[in-house]
Structure 1
Amino acid sequence: MFFKFLYFIYFLIKGKCLLSVFLVSLRWMKLPPVRITGHERAREVPYMRYGHTAVLLDDTIYLWGGRNDTEGACNVLYAFDVNTHRWYTPRTSGTVPGARDGHSACVLGKAMYIFGGYEQLADCFSNDIHKLDTTTMVWSLINARGTPARWRDFHSATIIGTKMFVFGGRADRLGPFHSNNEVYCNKIRVFDTETNCWLTTPSTQPLPEGRRSHSAFSYNGELYIFGGYNSHMERHFNDLWKFSPENFTWKKVEPKGKGPCPRRRQCCCMVGDRIILFGGTSPCPEQGMGDEFNLMDHSDLYILDFSPNLKTLCKIAVIQYSLEQSGLPHDIRWELAAMTTNSNISRPIFSSHG
């Protein structure tokens, strides 16, 4: 695990913007509030937002983009040092991307790639690729060759090898312009970072439904997607799909155990052989799974274990067969309780973002 801990930066919950950094190692612990002294120091702490991205590179989390309804969108780069727990704003130069939200960010080597999103100043969807070299802190707009991926926001972009795999997101029939005629592409688009070229890719059935605000991650050289939302279908998803870059085929995965309910906006982090999934939003139970506006936040945490150990398998068996727990160590009983007890602290929110 990353320094035996996992960080979540989560700014929008229950319809209110919060500014928190959480550190988790089996049990949750909230870090002390960031101390802000003086106007200049306050500017180094990101304001409350949604639709941003946060990536880890070495010991630094880079946060970029996002917006809120008061401040609008942002294009300032913020950095969080995981050792000192301090925010700061690195000095950057070059062609800085326009302020936006709903973009994607991924890391290859010492570079961060930004793709797509909805640009505030241009008031349109984007399909540009920007690159930040973190060794020089210089932004550049990539002059990509080939047929680019469609303009979109709230998609996913995942690095496998030297290629960026883009899936899903919300597009529009009018191209870059927002007309509420949404398009949900379900085809993989691939960008080669070595040649700066969009590649022509085949489509092989079966394909997952197009969606936005899903999660994507890579494991053992394959791409996985989970969850998301499609407004045409009025449906939230909780399906898990695996994509093979070698033969360009999709396969639906049916994990064992009880998985998350249909949702979108969750975050997923790979830690060793495990995916840790936290939060997300779903329609209120009385509204039905297609309702886009009456949503509830989740505070639950799920683990998808690709290589479960004997301890994990035994805990699953204790739960599955309702075995006696009184003779087990306290820590094991606590973990069993955490695996079977809901965190009912969420309230309905009213939102249409993402």
Structure 2
Amino acid sequence: MASINDLPEYVLEYILLHVSPYSDLKSCSQVNHLWNRMAKSALEKKRRGLNEAVQKQALDWFIKRQQAGTSSCIQKRHSHACAVLGRRMYIFGGCTSNTSTTYNDLWSFDLSRRVWVRPLSFGTPPPPKACSSLIAYKEKLVLFGGWAHTSPYYPLYNSWRIFDSIHLFDPALNRWTEVARRESSGFCPATAGHSAALFRKNLMLLFGGLQALDDGRGPPYNMSNDIWLLDLRSMQWQKQTIEGKKPKARYGHSQIIVDDHHIFIIGGCSGPDEMLYDMWLLEALDDGDSEGFPSGRNWKWHLIEVTNQKDGAPRLSFHPACRVGDNVVILGRSRYAKKNILHRSGSSGPSTLNAADFNFPPNTSGTKAWQSTMCVYALNISELVEKHRVTWLERGETSARQPEHLVLYTLVKGEGELLMFGGIRRDSTAAPRTDNNVETASNTLYSLSFQQAVI
């Protein structure tokens, strides 16, 4: 009697390409040796497909429908924190643009079932805040910094409190724990608008941001270009002393961990109307000491040469970057400024998703909306470490389903897709605020993926 195991291997692999890579594919890999091999091949093909789609500028946009008025509808927000842990993407805090309300809620998006869930958490939750950082460490989330009020134009100049607290969230227990400050060791000042990432397995590396000069309860504030390390085992801080030239102090930038010895900093903002377009590489060649902290003696900053800037993103501040292989993806306003956008329903979705969940909604008014749109820009970093040079990839064919331009969103990588959530939808990021320049916070989740070839 014939069975699915009698199918040619390329057909079985094609079937597995349409299975969720977050949970179902793992289950399929446990059926037998053949399925295990085909599941691994399918997962590698998904990852390779995303890399190739970025390289060829062939990413397509898909939208997750929100069920308004239900318990699974996450509130609109921007300047929130985001991290992926296992099969879930977590969103913390942020604020709205119309009421200036900050949140301290935590939401998870199940990447397998494609549904939002707000965990019923216990313990000591963080206060409401925006512009904080959230990273995944082992089986927990680490939340640091942030502030209590955000303005949609220059958010880091209108706060009344900046935070220096560290909170841990354990998804297995749905419990928040505030980490007690250790007065015996140095500690990072209250900071917001910084970047943070897991570094060398057990360290959190933090760069830049806006720092409070006193207890964080009001001006004056100071922009930073410091590097701080947090040992995630002992929860002790160390400030790295780096000699030589340094990047200008900034916030609203992007940080990419290239490897255990190189950190890439992109753009940012050094004050109102002071947008930065420079890129820097931090070379960290020494290893950790017995306590886990590097000495910093062989740490050095390098200003990076940027080529083919005509195809680069028009803004690098408040537009988070995400690494995909040898490229860094930055979403930004189309260089064609205004574009004719006709929102319409789609009938297909990315290869890893449910097409019914990820479609563009119809334009209920039946009219065309003239808006500034989002485009995908890709920066090749294959020569970053050796030659201190990066190159913007030539712009490919523009997707027909670009959303309106957003800022202050989050962008993270999943399996075979990029996930963009929230932000502020604006007619123009450069124009002064007027009645005609409407700002709207978003609760839309976009998936950037690629169309799977049909056999």
Instruction: Give the structure-2-normalised TM-score.
Output: 0.57
Structure 2 residue 331 is matched with structure 1 residue 274: no
1:17 matched residue in structure 2: none
Alignment of 1:69-88 (within 5 A): 69-70=98-99, 72-88=101-117
Q: Decide whether aligned partners of structure 1 residues 104 and 298 sit closer, same or farther in structure 2, where only a CA change above 3 A counts.
A: farther
Q: Decide whether aligned partners of structure 1 residues 126 and 297 sit closer, same or farther in structure 2, where only a CA change above 3 A counts.
A: farther
CA contact (8 A) 2:125 2:176 kept: yes
Alignment of 1:6-155 (within 5 A): 26-36=58-68, 42-68=70-96, 69-70=98-99, 72-119=101-148, 123-145=160-182, 146-155=185-194
How far off is 1:305 after superposition?
2.5
Q: Secondary structure at the match of 1:124?
A: coil
Q: Decide whether aligned partners of structure 1 residues 336 and 278 sit closer, same or farther in structure 2, where only a CA change above 3 A counts.
A: closer
Amino acid at match of 2:303: K
CA contact (8 A) 1:237 1:263 kept: yes
CA contact (8 A) 1:267 1:279 kept: no
Instruction: Give the structure-1-normalised TM-score.
Output: 0.72
Q: Secondary structure at the match of 2:242?
A: coil
CA contact (8 A) 2:67 2:73 kept: no
* CA–CA distance in structure 1, aligned partners of residues 134 and 125 of structure 2: 14
Structure 2 residue 304 is matched with structure 1 residue 253: yes
Q: Decide whether aligned partners of structure 1 residues 281 and 229 sit closer, same or farther in structure 2, where only a CA change above 3 A counts.
A: farther
How far off is 1:114 after superposition?
0.8
Alpha-carbon displacement from aligned partner over 1:167-202 (angstroms, at most 9, x marks no partner): 1112244440222x3311111111111121011421
Q: Percent identity?
A: 20
1:301 matched residue in structure 2: 376
How far off is 1:126 after superposition?
0.4
1:219 matched residue in structure 2: 258
Alpha-carbon displacement from aligned partner over 1:33-87 (angstroms, at most 9, x marks no partner): 1235xx5xx2332211111011111221100110114271111111112222211
How far off is 1:166 after superposition?
1.1
Q: Secondary structure at the match of 2:176?
A: strand
* CA–CA distance in structure 2, aligned partners of residues 265 and 297 of structure 1: 16
Alpha-carbon displacement from aligned partner over 1:243-274 (angstroms, at most 9, x marks no partner): 13332221112243323334311021122332
CA contact (8 A) 1:266 1:281 kept: no
CA contact (8 A) 1:267 1:280 kept: no
Q: Decide whether aligned partners of structure 1 residues 29 and 344 sit closer, same or farther in structure 2, where only a CA change above 3 A counts.
A: closer
Q: Secondary structure at the match of 1:75?
A: coil
1:324 matched residue in structure 2: none
Q: Decide whether aligned partners of structure 1 residues 347 and 123 sit closer, same or farther in structure 2, where only a CA change above 3 A counts.
A: closer
CA contact (8 A) 2:204 2:229 kept: yes
* CA–CA distance in structure 1, aligned partners of residues 428 and 100 of structure 2: 24
Q: Decide whether aligned partners of structure 1 residues 34 and 140 sit closer, same or farther in structure 2, where only a CA change above 3 A counts.
A: same
Q: Secondary structure at the match of 1:249?
A: strand
CA contact (8 A) 2:87 2:112 kept: yes
Q: Decide whether aligned partners of structure 1 residues 242 and 80 sit closer, same or farther in structure 2, where only a CA change above 3 A counts.
A: same
* CA–CA distance in structure 2, aligned partners of residues 140 and 280 of structure 1: 39
For these two proteins, the number of residue pairs brought into alignment is 291
Amino acid at match of 2:428: P
CA contact (8 A) 1:54 1:63 kept: yes
Q: Decide whether aligned partners of structure 1 residues 156 and 299 sit closer, same or farther in structure 2, where only a CA change above 3 A counts.
A: same
Alpha-carbon displacement from aligned partner over 1:274-293 (angstroms, at most 9, x marks no partner): 221112799x9xxxxxxxxx
2:452 matched residue in structure 1: none
User: Which has a greater percent of strand?
Assistant: 1
State which structure, 1 or 2, has the greater radius of gyration over its C-alpha atoms.
2
Which ranges in structure 1 are unaligned for 5 or more consecutive residues?
Answer: 7-24, 285-295, 309-315, 320-334
CA contact (8 A) 1:238 1:260 kept: no
Structure 2 residue 170 is matched with structure 1 residue 170: no
Which ranges in structure 2 are unaligned for 5 or more consecutive residues?
Answer: 1-42, 51-56, 150-158, 287-297, 338-370, 384-390, 406-425, 434-438, 440-455
CA contact (8 A) 2:334 2:374 kept: no
Amino acid at match of 1:128: S
* CA–CA distance in structure 2, aligned partners of residues 200 and 168 of structure 1: 12
**Greater Cα offset, 84-93 or 251-260:** 251-260
* CA–CA distance in structure 2, aligned partners of residues 178 and 280 of structure 1: 33
How far off is 1:151 after superposition?
1.2
User: Please, what is the CA RMSD of the aligned residues?
Assistant: 3.5
1:205 matched residue in structure 2: 244
* CA–CA distance in structure 1, aligned partners of residues 91 and 64 of structure 2: 19
CA contact (8 A) 1:144 1:198 kept: no
Q: Decide whether aligned partners of structure 1 residues 281 and 244 sit closer, same or farther in structure 2, where only a CA change above 3 A counts.
A: farther
How far off is 1:303 after superposition?
1.4
Find 1:348's aligned residue among 418, 428, 444. 428
* CA–CA distance in structure 2, aligned partners of residues 187 and 62 of structure 1: 27
* CA–CA distance in structure 2, aligned partners of residues 174 and 106 of structure 1: 26
